[in-house]
Amino acid sequence: MEKVSARIAALEESQTIAMSKKSRELTAQGIDVINLSVGEPDFFTPDFVKEAAKKAIDLNYSFYSPVVGYKDLLGAICGKLKRENNLDYQPEQIVVSAGAKHSLSNVLMCVVDKDDEVIVPAPYWVSYVELVKLAEGKNIVIETSIDNDFKITPKQFEAAITPKTRALMLCSPSNPSGSVYSFEELKAIAQVLEKYPNIIVISDEIYEHINFVGKHESIAQFDSIRDRVVIINGVSKGYAMTGWRIGFSASARWIAKACEKLQSQQTSGVCSIAQQAAIAAFNSDGEYPRQMR
Ligand SMILES: Cc1ncc(COP(=O)(O)O)c(C=O)c1O
């Protein structure tokens, strides 16, 4: 009998990936398509990153890597977080996964229990609500409007909190709205969070470098809630490396340990060559993302 699990039957296919597939099919038929589906820079991966990958092949980076990623890569990510975000993280707080999407999935699986509520401001990136469903959580969607630049207000956020709230999903710069939360706006949300010590913030910062309105601010900068913020980021957008599949989470150690346990059973460490390439990206001076802008 052909019967998939109820878990997968309830899951929607990623709409952006479905659109992208359609676009590829039409392009193959010779049709001129402007593909606005997946968030993908139409630049090539920088040469210095490609060189690092080629070197890694010649140096025989062909064995299993540690589950959380090579030590050098964890160090390079901590360096990036300090240099670009002025945030102090230790390598034990970082877990490298197969793209930011995989990091998000790991974190949700590790912190959300059945029927826990996850607050998701709308409009949202399509995968958030499906990943919450997969973790058996309940999506609590907050509608935003153009009047507030499609950002949640502290009042809206607090009104959505219940005793079952487990996490807030924040995305800044946001896909799809492009909105960017300012320091003051994040501070106001952090002040609400101070009253609710069980709520974790999953801060998706994958579009950090695709920001046309000013400096990127991370909600992890507020010490009072810092141990409950999970930063999600990677090389996909900033270094035009969507296909290389390198993302990371930066979190409290207990969350990192849980993600390591999950990943040790599901995927092990991600592609060794891509990890070596990502070291070059994270150790660079950030000029490449600036050039793309
Ligand atoms: C908001 C958001 N987060 C995460 C991702 C996933 O990034 P990655 O390619 O690193 O998995 C995307 C990709 O489109 C995205 O739009």
Per-residue model confidence as pLDDT tens digits over 129-166: 999 999 999 999 999 999 999 999 999 999 999 999 99
Per-residue model confidence as pLDDT tens digits over 173-227: 999 999 999 999 999 999 999 999 999 999 999 999 999 888 899 999 999 999 9
Q: What is the mean pLDDT of residues 115-139?
A: 97
Best residue among 36, 175, 210 to mutate for probing ligand 1, ranked by most atoms within 8 Å of CB: 175
Q: What is the mean pLDDT of residues 10-16?
A: 86
Atom 7, ligand 1: residue with shortest CA distance: 100
The residue among 161, 153, 117 whose CA lies nearest residue 136 is: 117
Domains of the chain: 1-38 (no CATH), 47-292 (3.40.640.10)
Distance 3 CA to ligand 1 centre (A): 30
Q: Please give the pLDDT value at position 40.
A: 81
- Written as one string, the DSSP assignment of the chain is -----HHHHTSPPPHHHHHHHHHHHHHHTT------SS---SSPPPHHHHHHHHHHHHTT--SPPPTT--HHHHHHHHHHHHHHH-----GGGEEEESSHHHHHHHHHHHHPPTT-EEEEEES--THHHHHHHHTT-EEEEEE--GGGTT---HHHHHHH--TTEEEEEEESS-TTT-----HHHHHHHHHHHTT-TT-EEEEE-TTTT--SSS----GGG-TTTGGGEEEEEESTTTTT-GGG--EEEE--HHHHHHHHHHHHHHT-S--HHHHHHHHHHHTS-SHHHHHH-
Ligand 1, CB within 6 Å, residue ranges:
38-39, 99-101, 125, 171, 175, 204, 206, 234, 236, 242, 247
Q: How confident is the model at residue 290 (pLDDT cuts 50, 70, 90)?
A: confident
Distance 101 CA to ligand 1 centre (A): 6
Atom 14, ligand 1: residue with shortest CA distance: 39
Per-residue model confidence as pLDDT tens digits over 30-87: 999 988 777 788 899 999 999 999 999 999 999 999 999 999 999 999 999 999 999 9
Per-residue model confidence as pLDDT tens digits over 247-260: 999 999 999 999 99
Q: Please give the pLDDT value at position 34.
A: 86
